[in-house]
Structure 1
């Protein structure tokens, strides 16, 4: 399950970013996961819960934004969904495309600091 190593890397990086911003505690980490990134969002969520214990993100939740795979068709000048398994033929003009515009993302999109205690 490579999601555990990904979750660990997300926690480490989110902690670094939070500390650099002067944040002591994090309540949520938002990640963007592309349809073709090879990551199972539910498995990543489970792995995040396991890996966060004992870290500065122990109380944080993981928010996963799924990014659909989209390709660009030059002759039609349009984006089209690639789907899963991926199919890189334009549904409009029936031409192949090699221009993948989205779907491989695996990135931290945001970190939400925990509210300061009153």
Structure 2
């Protein structure tokens, strides 16, 4: 299952950034996942929990935000939600020259961690909030 390799890559990247930032624990990771990325959210969540074990991310919450796939027709400039299965022919003019605008994303959109230099409640997260 490729969700485990995705989860491990996310954990590695976040753990490295957390170490560099002096974090004592990561509490939340927010991912944006396009509906055409081929990722099963439940499998990713399960894999994330396993990949976090024994790391600074242990116990961290994973928030998966789904990104709707959208396309634009080159000839008429109409935009539409692609859906599943993907509709890549323009619903307005019928042309099959669609440009995929979004929907294949798989990116870390935010991380919240605790900094060991100050008491937990008195400090804002170092990076973007989840």
TM-score, normalization by structure 1: 0.91
Measured after TM superposition, the shift of residue 45 of structure 1 is 0.5
Confirm or deny: 8 A CA contact 1:71 1:102 kept in the other structure.
Answer: yes
Name 2:44's counterpart in structure 1.
44
In the alignment, the residues of structure 1 paired with residue 76 and residue 20 of structure 2 have an alpha-carbon distance, to the nearest angstrom, of 45
Secondary structure at the aligned position of 2:89 is classed as: coil
Which structure 1 residue ranges, 4+ long, deviate > 4 Å from structure 2? Answer: none
Moved more, 12-21 or 50-59: 12-21
Measured after TM superposition, the shift of residue 84 of structure 1 is 1.0
Measured after TM superposition, the shift of residue 50 of structure 1 is 1.4
Highest RCO, 1 vs 2 (Cα 8 Å, sep ≥ 6): 1
Name 1:82's counterpart in structure 2.
82
Name 1:30's counterpart in structure 2.
30
**Tell me, which stretches of 5 or more residues in structure 2 are unaligned?**
122-130
Aligned-residue Cα RMSD (Å) equals: 1.6
In the alignment, the residues of structure 1 paired with residue 44 and residue 82 of structure 2 have an alpha-carbon distance, to the nearest angstrom, of 23
In the alignment, the residues of structure 1 paired with residue 32 and residue 8 of structure 2 have an alpha-carbon distance, to the nearest angstrom, of 16
In the alignment, the residues of structure 2 paired with residue 36 and residue 60 of structure 1 have an alpha-carbon distance, to the nearest angstrom, of 26
1:70 counterpart = 2:70: yes
Name 1:18's counterpart in structure 2.
18
Measured after TM superposition, the shift of residue 114 of structure 1 is 3.2
Measured after TM superposition, the shift of residue 78 of structure 1 is 2.6
Number of residue pairs aligned between Structure 1 and Structure 2: 118
Moved more, 1-10 or 72-81: 72-81
**Tell me, which stretches of 5 or more residues in structure 1 are unaligned?**
none
Measured after TM superposition, the shift of residue 23 of structure 1 is 2.2
Name 1:110's counterpart in structure 2.
110
